[in-house]
A = this chain, B = another copy of it.
Amino acid sequence: MKSLPLAKVYQLIEPGPVVLLTTAHKGRANVMTMSWHTMLEFEPPLIACVVSSANHSFAALRATGECVIAIPARKLAAKVVKIGNTSGRDGDKFRAVRLEPVAAEQVAPPLIAECFANLECKVTDTRMVQKYNLFVLEVVKAWIDPAQKRPKIIHHHGYGRFAVDGPMIKFKSRMR
């Protein structure tokens, strides 16, 4: 995996991909699916995301303040759904869905080898956790897999339905 400049992270999150979120707690890594997230700031990149207190990952994120956001392309969709349908309470999800955890550089939770992008994150603000389960994350290191050219991301529409990225269109724009 290749390092990605932090100033480009927003281009990965802004389009609304379903992502995988990894945590590590008490010697065990876990992974969940997540679609409720938004950029908050370009640089350093801040992301706000909702991790429900009903999720097994919630306690790990709360306790450790670290996670990795891994972005899967279309070919991983079936695994993404399987991860969403099971809980870390029931065993090792990485093994169950056959995804390869890889050591991160600045945080304890693992990267996911098969994902085309991995963002190492630290929780920087927990004031909205109690009311909204909303965490503010700062991306401290970003990785991209140069072998995955033009990955198609998937967008959740509820109940296992996803829109896959279709054609790209381009306009002259002053918008960043």
Contact = CB atoms under 8 A, between A and B. Distances in A.
Copies per assembly: 2
A11 B158 contact: yes
B157 A15 contact: yes
Count class of interface residues, chain A: 35 or more
Interface string A33-51: 1011111110000101110
Contacts of A173: 81, 84-85, 159-160
A85 B17 contact: no
A89 interface: no
Interface in A126-176: 127-128, 131-132, 134, 136, 152-176
Contacts of A165: 155, 163-166
A10 interface: yes
Given A84-B175, A159-B176, A132 B40 contact: yes
